[in-house]
Amino acid sequence: MDFAAFADRAAAIEAESADTVITERVGELLADAGSELPIVVRFLQGRMFPAHDSRTLDIGPALCYEAIARAAGRNVAAEDVESRLADRGEIGAVAASYDFGGQQGLGAFTGSDDGGLTVAEVDEDLRAVAAATGDGSRDTKRDLLFGLFNRSSPEEARYLARLVLGEMRIGVGGGTVRDAIAGAFDVSVEAVERALQVTNDYGLVADIAREDGDDGLETLGLEIGRPVQAMLAQTGTVTGALEDWGTAAVEVKYDGARVQVHYDGESVRLFSRNMEEVTDPLPEVVAFLERELDAPAILDGEVVAVDEDGDPLPFQEVLRRFRRKHDVARAREDVTVRLRAFDCLHADGADLLDAPLRDRRDRLETVLGSGVSEWWLADDAEAIADIEAETLEAGHEGIMLKDPESTYSPGRRGKHWRKRKPDVETLDLVVTGAEWGEGRRAELLGTFEVSVRTPDGYAPVGNVATGITDERLEALTERLEPHVRSEDGVAVDLEPAVVFEVGYEELQASNTYDSGYALRFPRFLGVREDKAPEDADTLDRVRRLADAQ
Ligand code: ATP
């Protein structure tokens, strides 16, 4: 396909505003693209390489301006390009404002016989631009770009300049291309979508859709060494998760950097959340995985920084490692990093994206001996609160809640993974009762009844049983014991004296407590030593908060 034809079609698409028409036009272009289909699909999105491929042209705008200036004529300087850019606002319009072609013979372009550029030639030269590295590469890149602009008509130059700078601006996003592929080659949108998720390569998917239809798309799978987009999380609440799923998978939310592990049976490659390769900065993670992994696999996880005792350090410490890319030996002395793998996308020849999380976790645990993240299956809020308390106590960021039956959706921020929302509200409540613990905690008070102030005294709104470590319980027992009014079995009645700060997810009308309200997912946050019972929150305030929810 001539690049001029591509530019014409791109201009027609850019001039169109209705989404359905744009999709149709893109579909027609794909159908006419012939052997250059994969390139056309990428160019339409301003891309030279598929998203999983970390190659770039590695040129800054300045170099592009220089190449344009040189192709525009002997008297044109890069400053002229810049001043036109200030006027016209975007590089495509600037490139289209020059009359190129007077400088033949000066460039290093790969010439074609008739002088007209083809899409394949543009692709080939831009690949050479990307491949140029080391001494003198800046000149090589500029010469190649000059050669391309020198052979461009104004309309071609418009789209060439935009392509070079990675911004097509013709209103064609990923969704449009997906729908256009489906329309042009009569395959289902779902099949295209799935194929895109596993390959991250619009060019490849378009080609397979055209050649082998739906059946061909179905055979596309994950490939070791080709990263996929990470599944993402929404914020959510414990109560919401339990309502939706019955049982939730609870995982430690590590404060580190996301990594995707690709192991082909011999060596490991690591990719970051945006699919950049990060193998080199993490040599001990690579060595660890090459030792521990039993079979070829693709894993999802988090790299965390730890201190000498293995306790977590903040996220910034991991970033230091990434920043010190070129001085890894020194960074290794500064910061120890460890992998916490939490998902398994592929193991021993089998793609697991469509398998439920429980099965993927099983597979993860068989394929990787250690370094697997902590997780629990829980069906009640109190158990989850306990896990969260321990997790926070151990210095982690919090917890993730996941639907144990859910599949892995690359790139999706769906409702199947939720990061627990921090408490929306807190209340300062008076401790009016407690219970002696069991077993190891028999000598300690636990399960504290917390109450709001009412006009005639105090009325309970819930129990905080959790979020409290042994050490804290000892201190609290000491603090509360002098206020015991009476005991009945394990139950203890306390005179109002101590105020707790309590976090909760929601307020609910309830018959359980005299106040008529119950806190959902109440958690102990601390003692308000600065507050007396008379300063605690009132039933009135709770009523207002509940109404406002
Ligand atoms: P976002 O990913 O939502 O854009 P973010 O990068 O700041 O924002 P968070 O939203 O706070 O991250 O949390 C999601 C991230 O938490 C994941 O991308 C991952 O890096 C990290 N994480 C830590 N532990 C887990 C886990 N057990 N499961 C999934 N993700 C985890």
Q: What is the CATH number of the domain that holds 322?
A: 3.30.470.30
- On whether both 416 and 336 belong to a single domain, the answer is yes
Residue 512: Cβ within 10 Å count? 13
In the predicted model, what is the mean pLDDT of residues 75-87? 92
Residue 279 corresponds to which tokens in the numbers above? 């193998």
Residues 249-276 have a mean pLDDT of: 94
CA nearest to 92, candidates 29, 147, 163, 187: 163
| Predicted local confidence at residue 331, as pLDDT | 62
If asked whether residues 260 and 371 sit together in one domain, one would say yes
- Greater pLDDT, 323 or 502: 502
How many domains are contained in the chain?
A: 3
What tokens were used for 238?
């414990």
Q: Is residue 2 assigned to a domain?
A: no
Structural domain contains residue 77: yes
Residue 12 in contact with ligand 1 by CB distance below 6 A:
no
Measured in angstroms, how far is the CA atom of residue 408 from the centroid of ligand 1?
Answer: 15
Per-residue pLDDT reduced to its tens digit, 129-180: 999 999 999 999 999 999 999 999 999 999 999 999 998 999 999 999 999 9
325 annotated as a binding-site residue:
no
Contacts from 518-522 at CB under 8 Å and sequence distance 24+?
Answer: 518/461, 518/462, 519/427, 519/450, 519/461, 519/462, 520/239, 520/381, 521/237, 521/238, 521/239, 521/381, 521/385, 522/450, 522/462, 522/463, 522/464
Counting ligand 1 atoms within 8 A of each CB, the residue from 302, 319, 415 with the most, and so the one to mutate, is 302
By three-state DSSP, how is residue 9 classified?
A: helix
DSSP 357-426: HHHHHHHHHHHBSS-BPPEEEE-SHHHHHHHHHHHHHTT--EEEEE-TTPPP-TT-EEEEEEEEPPPSEE
Q: For the chain, give the mean pLDDT.
A: 91
Q: Tell whether the model's pLDDT for residue 328 goes beyond 70.
A: no
Residue pair 227/200 in contact by the 8 Å Cβ criterion: yes
Among 384-398, 401-415, 465-479, the minimum mean pLDDT is found in: 465-479
Q: What's the pTM value of the predicted model, to 2 decimals?
A: 0.79
What is the model's pLDDT at position 180? 98
From CA 168, how far away is CA 107, in angstroms rounded?
25
Is 88 labelled a binding residue?
Answer: no
Q: How far is the CA of 337 from the centre of ligand 1 (A)?
A: 17
pLDDT at 111 over 60: no
From the list 123, 112, 147, 98, the residue with the least C-alpha distance to 35 is: 123
DSSP 475-541: HHHHHHGGGEEEEETTEEEE-S--EEEEEESEEEE-SSSTTSEEEES-EEEEE-TT--GGGSPBHHH
Q: Are residues 282 and 350 in the same domain?
A: yes
Which candidate, 269, 196, 188, places its Cα nearest to that of 229?
Answer: 196
pLDDT at position 421: 73
Rounded-to-integer distance, Cα 286 and Cα 262, Å: 10
Which pair of tokens denotes residue 318? Answer: 């991991």
Residues 273-293, mean pLDDT to the nearest whole number:
92
pLDDT at 477 over 90: yes
Is 497 in the same domain as 537? Answer: yes
Same domain, 357 and 251: yes
253 as an active site residue: the answer is yes
The CATH number linked to 515 is 2.40.50.140
> Does residue 300 have its Cβ closer than 6 Å to ligand 1?
no
- 421 close to ligand 1 (CB < 6 Angstrom): no
Is the pLDDT at 10 greater than 50? The verdict is yes
Are 154 and 66 in a shared domain? yes
- Tell me: do 465 and 393 sit in the same domain: no
For residues 306 and 207, which has the higher predicted lDDT (pLDDT)? 207
Q: Are residues 477 and 414 in the same domain?
A: no
Whether residue 437 is found in the same domain as residue 380: no
Ligand 1 site-directed mutation target among 229, 231, 258, 259, most atoms within 8 Å of CB: 258
Confidence class of residue 468 from pLDDT cuts 50, 70 and 90?
low
**What's the angle, vertex CA 421, arms to CA 420 and CA 422, rounded to 5?**
115
Predicted confidence band at 108 (pLDDT cuts at 50, 70, 90)?
very low
- pLDDT category at 525 given cuts 50, 70, 90 is confident
Long-range contacts of 270-278, Cβ-Cβ distance < 8 Å, separation of 24 or more: 271/227, 272/322, 273/230, 275/51, 275/52, 275/54, 275/200, 275/227, 275/228, 275/229, 276/54, 277/54, 278/322
Contacts of 183 (CB under 8 A, 6+ apart): 23, 24, 27
Mean pLDDT value of segment 275-284: 91
Q: Reduce the DSSP state of residue 73 to 3 states and report it.
A: coil
Q: 469 vs 28, which has greater pLDDT?
A: 28
- Using a 6 Å cutoff on CB, does residue 373 contact ligand 1? yes
- Ligand 1: centre distance to CA 398 (Å): 10
Find the mean pLDDT for residues 274-295: 93
Domain assignment present for residue 349? The answer is yes
Q: What is the pLDDT averaged over residues 239-262?
A: 95
- The ligand 1 atom at the shortest distance from the C-alpha of residue 258 is 20
Domain boundary among 391, 420, 449: 420
- Per-residue pLDDT, averaged over 356-369, amounts to 96
User: Which of 531, 529, 510, 528 lies closest to 519 in space, CA to CA?
Assistant: 510
pLDDT confidence band for 367 (50 / 70 / 90): very high
Share above pLDDT 70 across residues of the chain, in percent, rounded to a whole number: 94
Atom of ligand 1 nearest to the CA of 252: 27
Residue 169 lies in a domain: no
CA 507, 509, 511, 514 dihedral sign is positive
DSSP conformational letter for 247: S
The model's confidence at residue 332, banded by pLDDT at 50, 70 and 90, is low
Among 242, 186, 238, which Cα is nearest to 215's?
A: 186
Q: According to the annotation, is 211 in a ligand binding site?
A: no
302 is in an annotated binding site: yes
Smallest CA separation from ligand 1 atom 25, residue:
253
Q: Which amino acid is at 145?
A: L
pLDDT at 140: 96
pLDDT of residue 439: 86
476 and 407 belong to one structural domain: no
Q: Within a domain: residue 486?
A: yes
Q: Evaluate: CB of 408 within 6 angstroms of ligand 1.
A: no
Is any ligand 1 atom within 6 A of the Cβ of residue 419? yes
Q: What is the mean pLDDT of residues 435-457?
A: 92
Q: Compute, in angstroms, the gap from residue 420 CA to the centroid of ligand 1.
A: 11
Question: What local confidence, expressed as pLDDT, does residue 472 receive?
Answer: 84
Question: Taking a C-beta distance cutoff of 8 angstroms, is the pair 52, 201 a contact?
Answer: yes
Last residue of a domain, one of 393, 420, 447: 420
Q: Binding site annotation covers 531?
A: no
Provide the CATH number for the domain around residue 115. Answer: 1.10.3260.10
Q: Determine, yes or no, domain membership for 185.
A: no
Give me the helix-helix angle, 61-72 and 137-150, nearest 10°: 50
Per-residue pLDDT band at 211 (split at 50, 70, 90): very high
Q: What whole-number distance in Å separates Cα of residue 24 and Cα of residue 30?
A: 10
The mean per-residue pLDDT over the stretch 110-114 comes to 47
CB within 8 Å of 436: residues ≥ 6 apart = 442, 443, 444, 445, 446, 490, 492
Q: Is 254 in the pocket of ligand 1 (CB under 6 A)?
A: yes
Residue 110 has what pLDDT? 42
Q: How far is the CA of 222 from the centre of ligand 1 (A)?
A: 22
Judge if 465 and 415 occupy the same domain.
Answer: no
95 with 109, same domain: the answer is yes
- Whether the predicted pLDDT of 109 surpasses 60: no
Is residue 397 within 6 Å of ligand 1 at its C-beta? no
**Other beta carbons within 10 Å of 76:** 15
Quote helix, strand, coil % in the chain, to nearest 5.
45, 25, 35
CB of 170 closer than 8 Å to CB of 15: no
Give domain status of residue 241, yes or no: yes
Supply the residue whose CA is at minimum distance from atom 3 of ligand 1.
Answer: 233
Range of the structural domain that residue 81 is part of? 47-164
Residue 212 lies in a domain: no
Show which of 145, 164, 183 is a domain's final residue.
164
- The answer on pLDDT for 107 being more than 60 is no
Longest dimension (CA), the chain: 101
**How many CB atoms are closer than 10 A to CB 5?**
17
> Which of the residues 141, 253, 415, 531 is marked catalytic?
253
Cα of 277 from ligand 1 centre, angstroms: 19
Ligand 1 pocket residue status of 412, Cβ below 6 Å = no
The fraction of the chain above a pLDDT of 90, given in percent, is 75
